[in-house]
Amino acid sequence: MSRLRDSQLGDPRVSDIGNYIRRGKLWEAFAAGQKTVLLIDEIDKADIEFPNDLLQELDRMEFHVYETGETVKAQVRPIVIITSNNEKELPDAFLRRCFFHYIRFPDAETLARIVEVHYPGIKPRLLTAALTRFYEIRETPGLKKRPSTSEALDWIRLLVADEVDPADLRADATQALPKLHGALLKNEQDVHLFERLVFMAWRDGR
């Protein structure tokens, strides 16, 4: 679009397409001239062919810019860190070139420290009640999408903003849906699951 606009304005830069090519992070890492760390985050959410497209570039530490005919070679091999949430399978050929490290979901003590970094000064009673309820919800059998650390942080932010009483977060069979549950339950099936739990508790209590 920029090149089209400049051509309409008579800008002489349009004669060189290189003026309109933006360097991506891989290009910046290859051209850095020193050891860098390149993070490719949540690769499982990219297009299905993206991991395969990276194979040659990461093997040879170079890639070709077809628009300019230029080959960009890494002056110093960067450290490449790739994350995945396992939402879809990655190609075997790609995985063979990776050194795998599994990061377990944080326990309550670790998650408490994470929360305190984001929300310093949070009331201990609220933090304890929120995390207790969070882990109860996360371990509910049948959940299609268990809430993650990011959902916990979003939920607790809302609890702090709304000044929710920690007592209101205690698990109650007649109120299975948590306060401000929209920050935790991001799947319609999971919301229906908790609604059924509420109904069953109400029915059994009659």
* 58-62, 113-117, 164-168, 169-173: the lowest-pLDDT one: 169-173
87 lies in the same domain as 112? no
Residue 101 lies in a domain: no
Residue 117 lies in a domain: yes
R_g of the chain, CA atoms, integer Å: 25
Domains of the chain: total: 2
The confidence band for 39, taking pLDDT boundaries of 50, 70 and 90, is very high
Q: Distance between CA 202 and CA 80 in Å, rounded?
A: 53
| pTM summary value | 0.65
Direct distance between the N- and C-terminal alpha carbons of the chain, in angstroms, rounded to an integer: 66
In this structure, which long-range contacts are made by residues 67-73, counting pairs with CB atoms below 8 Å and at least 24 apart in sequence? 67/17, 67/18, 67/21, 68/17, 68/18, 68/21, 72/27, 72/30, 72/31, 73/30
Residue 165 lies in a domain: yes
Q: Distance between CA 119 and CA 116 in Å, rounded?
A: 5
Asked if 44 and 90 touch (Cβ cutoff 8 Å), the reply is yes
17 lies in the same domain as 64? yes
Asked if 84 and 44 touch (Cβ cutoff 8 Å), the reply is yes
26 lies in the same domain as 77? yes
130 lies in the same domain as 87? no
Residue 102 lies in a domain: no
Residue 123 lies in a domain: yes
113 lies in the same domain as 189? yes
198 lies in the same domain as 170? yes
pLDDT tens track for 119-165: 999 999 999 999 999 998 888 888 888 899 999 999 999 999 998 88
Which domain-ending residue is among 73, 95, 117?
Answer: 95
- pLDDT recorded at residue 59: 84
Compute how many other C-beta atoms are within 10 angstroms of the C-beta atom of residue 152: 23
Q: Which domain holds residue 185?
A: 108-205
* 70-84, 137-151, 159-173: the lowest-pLDDT one: 159-173
86 has pLDDT over 90: no
pLDDT tens track for 89-107: 888 888 888 888 988 899 9
